[in-house]
Structure 1
């Protein structure tokens, strides 16, 4: 365990939360302790995989820092909130995120994906709930408990909103990751998941014939469509496209007054863009 992090011997009374792969205690303003569930072998296996992945990834600005380890726990950098929580705050105010935030979060998330892929990691459960923000509002891609390392079977299933029926969920690939990234970017800009009002069977039927929500009015619309239509060879190409959009818009340009949200994707599909692709 790192000498820089002091872990209380008694965790009772500390704020904590429970996830699918274990419990997380907030042990200081800079660190959390993630521990597998007691006597739960799948949880312990997920924690072992997550430890291997964090050790493989090492230090990177788009990944939470691994501050230390215990036999049954990880000590990780404490962050502020998930991107989804921030997006829901915008939705509650009936607004979309400002353009500078959209571009920064999109670029940083794509950079994180480019990096983990270069290290043999597929995150698998790609979504705004697994993208965390630090105190400066910058992205950290997190939660590798169910992820794939060097082609290992994933220990978790991705969301139906981020899954294409013709892309395997048991053998994750760059293409399946980038499809999910497209859904993440759509939610990032609209605050809604694609076809948020559809059930899993309806999503599978629509995605299976390459029918997706309209994206023509989105700043990242072309990038989202290309992710969904499997037109990227790697996350680096997504990074390059977002950088071009950012350069075109200009770093100093502030977004206009956010439009009223409504609910995108309800009863309307982008069949035209599917035909073009």
Structure 2
């Protein structure tokens, strides 16, 4: 049976989706609306009040909590200047009546799928465009600067992976699925299951034990894994002890990966600086950079 959509004339979109939620594109094709996968408007013949429904599929409680968390993360972002970042998906509004979040549509698909279908993507024009590293360094700088921005808000993205990075029409990168993000001791949704986890990741942080909280260092570790993926287009093997760390080359890019993994960077701002130094050394001009 075709899904019954929220009453705003929106169209389905297949390439987005978070467990328990459905996502549709608005009529102007510029934004997306998130809503529970089991949603039925009240005028639907199969609608039942979720509070009194005997059908488990009608229970939207977990999905609504997930949507509430997504909105809270965006509220935290918007509570202080700067209120947005060019490489973080923006909340545009909430739907009148339902309160469902409407976010900007990042139109080129996720990074993982893009690299699979475009093994030799067209590199943006400009100085250094013939360098095969140009596009990957651009993505790295986009994401590093986005993570650094979130950290200024005490938000840890937590779910970083090629699947939670989407590309815009100019091939710049943006973080999406912010329901996976964590704030202090509060974790995000199960989207973290698909992200890069550091060896000491804690599944259930405790409010009264700060040592268990999600910290920016976990994003720094994940960024190192993302850099590894960008260079070899394979995920690094999980490791706990430094001697088991995936083998790296002796060059500046791999040194960034190593320093992310062994926590020699004190902040994402330091990582951004390191990536920018490589861009400068290569003599590249990155339109849509950090």
TM-score calculated relative to the size of structure 1: 0.76
Paired residue secondary structure (2:32)? strand
**RMSD of Structure 2 on Structure 1 (CA):** 2.6
Distance 1:91 1:151, change over 3 A: same
Q: Which residue of 2 aligns with 1:75?
A: 102
Q: Which residue of 1 aligns with 2:25?
A: 26
Shift of residue 10 of structure 1? 4.2
Shift of residue 65 of structure 1? 2.2
1:52 to 67, 72, 87: 72
How many pairs were matched up?
234
Correspondence 1:160-239 to 2 at 5 A: 162-170=196-204, 171-195=213-237, 203=238, 206-216=239-249, 220-239=253-272
Paired residue secondary structure (1:230)? coil
Tell me the distance in 1 between the aligned counterparts of 2:150 and 2:20. Answer: 20
Tell me the distance in 2 between the aligned counterparts of 1:218 and 1:186. Answer: 13
Q: Which runs of 5+ in 1 are unaligned?
A: 1-6, 196-202, 254-277
Answer yes or no: is the 8 Å Cα contact 1:189–1:218 preserved in 2: no
Answer yes or no: is the 8 Å Cα contact 1:161–1:194 preserved in 2: no
Correspondence 1:132-151 to 2 at 5 A: 132-151=166-185
Tell me the distance in 2 between the aligned counterparts of 1:161 and 1:59. Answer: 23
TM-score calculated relative to the size of structure 2: 0.72
Shift of residue 156 of structure 1? 2.3
Q: Which runs of 5+ in 2 are unaligned?
A: 1-5, 39-58, 78-82, 122-130, 205-212
Distance 1:117 1:158, change over 3 A: same
Distance 1:35 1:213, change over 3 A: same
Answer yes or no: is the 8 Å Cα contact 2:242–2:262 preserved in 1: no
- Cα deviation, 1:185-216, whole Å, max 9, x if unaligned, reads 11122211113xxxxxxx3xx33445222221
Correspondence 1:118-157 to 2 at 5 A: 118-156=152-190
Shift of residue 36 of structure 1? 2.7
